[in-house]
Chains A and B, each alone.
Chain A
Amino acid sequence: MSSSSPSNKETVMRKVPLFSRMPILPPSVTVPASIILLIILLALLVPIVSPYDALRQNLTERLSAPGTAHILGTDALGRDCFTRIFYGTRISLFVALIPTAFAVLIGMAAGIAAAFFGKAADALVTWLSDVTLAFPGMLLAMVIMYSFGGSFSSIVISIVIMEWGSIARIVRSVTLSILENEYILAARSIGVKRFNIIIRHIIPNLIPTLIVLFTLNIPASILSESSLSFLGIGIQPPEVSLGLMVNESRTLLFNKPHLVLGPAGMIMLLVLSFNFLGDALRDRFDQEV
Chain B
Amino acid sequence: MSEDLLLELRDLSVSIVGKKETLPIVKGIDLHIPRGSIVGLVGESGCGKSMTAKSINNILPPFARVTGGSIIWRTEASGEVDLALLKEKEMRKKCGTEIAMVFQEPMTSLNPLMQVGEQIKEVLTIHGVERDNKKAKDRVIEMLSKVGIAEPALRYNAWPHELSGGMRQRVMIAMAMICQPKLLIADEPTTALDVTIEAQILSLIKELCRNNSMSALVITHNMGVVSTLCDYVYVMYLGSVVESAPVKELFNNPCHPYTRGLLSSIPHVGDNPEFLHTIPGNVPDMKKHFKGCDFCLRCSDDIKQCFFEKPALTETGAGHFVRCHRSLGA
Interface of A toward B, CB cutoff 8 Å: 1, 5-7, 9-10, 13, 118, 181-183, 185-193, 196, 200-201, 204-205
Q: Could you tell me if A204 and B96 are in contact, using CB atoms closer than 8 angstroms?
A: no
- Interface size for B (C-beta < 8 A) is 34
A152 to B10, CA, bound (A): 65
Q: Which of A190, A196, A204 contacts B114 (CB 8 A)?
A: A204
- Which of B25-33, B70-78, B149-157, B211-219 participates in binding chain A? B149-157
Q: Let me know if B151 and A181 touch, CB within 8 A.
A: no
Q: Are B111 and A190 within 8 A (Cβ)?
A: no
Contact of B109 among A13, A183, A191, A205 (CB under 8 A): A183
Comparing B40-48, B122-130, B277-285, the segment that makes contact with chain A is B122-130
Q: Which residues of A contact B260 (CB under 8 A)?
A: none
Is B9 part of the binding interface, using a Cβ–Cβ cutoff of 8 Å?
A: no
Residues of B within 8 A of A6 (CB): 151-154
- Nearest CB to that of A178 among chain B residues? B111
B122 touches A190 (CB 8 A): yes
- With contacts A10-B153, A181-B108 taken as known, whether A188 is within 8 angstroms of B103 at the C-beta atoms is no
Contact B111 A205 (CB under 8 A): yes
- Nearest Cβ distance between residue B19 and chain A, in whole angstroms? 11
| Closest chain A residue, CB of each to CB of B120 | A190
Query: For the complex, what is the distance from the CA of A204 to the CA of B100, rounded to whole Å?
Result: 25
Report which of A183, A190, A196 forms a contact with B95, defined as CB distance below 8 A: A190
B123 contacts across to A, CB distance below 8 A: 190-191
| A185 and B176 in contact, given A10-B154, A190-B96, A204-B113 (Cβ under 8 angstroms) | no
Q: List B contacts of A196 (CB < 8 A).
A: 126
**A-B contact list, 26 entries, CB within 8 Å:** A1-B151, A5-B151, A6-B151, A7-B153, A9-B154, A10-B154, A182-B104, A182-B105, A182-B109, A183-B110, A185-B59, A187-B122, A188-B59, A190-B100, A190-B101, A190-B122, A190-B175, A191-B92, A191-B93, A191-B95, A191-B97, A192-B96, A200-B111, A204-B111, A204-B113, A204-B114
Q: Are B100 and A201 in touch, CB under 8 angstroms?
A: no
Task: Specify the chain A residue showing the minimal Cβ separation from B176.
Answer: A190
Which of B62, B92, B103, B175 touches A182 (beta carbons < 8 Å)? Answer: B103
**Chain B CB within 10 Å, residue with most, of A5, A13, A185, A189:** A189
CA distance A7 to B152 in the complex (A): 11
Instruction: Give chain A residues whose Cβ lies under 8 Å from the Cβ of B93.
Output: 191
Partner of B111, one of A5, A10, A183, A188: A183
- B39 CB-CB contact with A under 8 Å: no
Docked complex Cα distance between A13 and B159 (Å): 14
Q: Which residue of B lies closest to A3 (CB)?
A: B153
Instruction: Judge if B57 is at the interface, Cβ distance under 8 Å.
Output: yes
- Check if A185 sits within 8 Å of B92, measured CB to CB: no
- B108 x A183 contact (CB < 8 A): yes
CA distance A9 to B153 in the complex (A): 10
CA distance A201 to B110 in the complex (A): 10
Contact A1 B126 (CB under 8 A): no
The answer to whether B108 and A182 touch across the interface, beta carbons within 8 angstroms, is yes
B227 in contact (CB, < 8 A):
no
Measured CB to CB, the closest approach of chain A to B161, in angstroms, equals 11
Residue pair B113, A192 in contact (C-beta under 8 Å): no
A35 to B113, CA, bound (A): 31
Q: Which chain B residues border A182 with CB–CB below 8 Å?
A: 103-105, 108-109
Within the complex, which residue of A13, A193, A205 is in contact with B126, where a contact is CB–CB below 8 Å?
Answer: A193
Whether B96 contacts A201 by the Cβ 8 Å rule is no
Q: A1 touches which one: B62, B109, B150 (CB < 8 A)? A: B150
A168 to chain B, nearest CB (A): 21
B140 at the interface (CB under 8 A from A): no
Which chain A residues lie closer than 8 Å to B57 at the CB level? 189
Find chain B residues with CB under 8 A from A10 CB.
Answer: 153-154
B172 within 8 Å of A (CB atoms): yes
For A193, the chain B residues whose CB sits under 8 A away are 92, 126
Q: How far is the CA of A182 from the CA of B172 in the complex (A)?
A: 12
- Looking at the assembled complex, report how far the CB atom of B47 sits from the nearest CB atom of chain A, in whole angstroms: 20
Q: Are A189 and B150 in contact (CB under 8 A)?
A: no
| Complex alpha-carbon distance, A196 and B114, angstroms | 14
CA distance A51 to B151 in the complex (A): 64
* Docked-complex contact A186 and B145, CB < 8 angstroms: no
Chain B neighbourhood of A188, CB < 8 A? 59, 92, 95
Do A205 and B113 contact each other (CB < 8 Å), given the known contacts A9-B151, A9-B154, A193-B126? yes
How far does the alpha carbon of A154 sit from the alpha carbon of B18 in the complex, in Å? 46
Do the beta carbons of A200 and B114 come within 8 Å of each other? yes
User: Which of A191, A201, A205 has most B Cβ within 10 Å?
Assistant: A191
Specify the chain B residue showing the minimal Cβ separation from A204: B113
Tell yes or no: B94 within 8 A of A by CB.
yes
Residues of B within 8 A of A183 (CB): 108-112
CB contacts (< 8 Å) of B113 on chain A: these are 204-205
- With both beta carbons as reference points, the residue of chain B lying nearest to A203 in the complex is identified as B113
User: Assuming A186-B103, A186-B109, what are 17 further A-B pairs, CB within 8 angstroms?
Assistant: A1-B145, A5-B151, A6-B154, A118-B62, A183-B109, A186-B101, A186-B175, A188-B59, A189-B100, A190-B122, A190-B175, A191-B92, A191-B94, A192-B96, A193-B126, A200-B114, A201-B111
Alpha-carbon distance A186/B186, docked complex (angstroms): 12
Known contacts: A204-B113, A205-B111, A205-B113. The answer to whether A189 contacts B151 by CB under 8 A is no
Question: Complex Cα distance A186/B185, Å?
Answer: 12
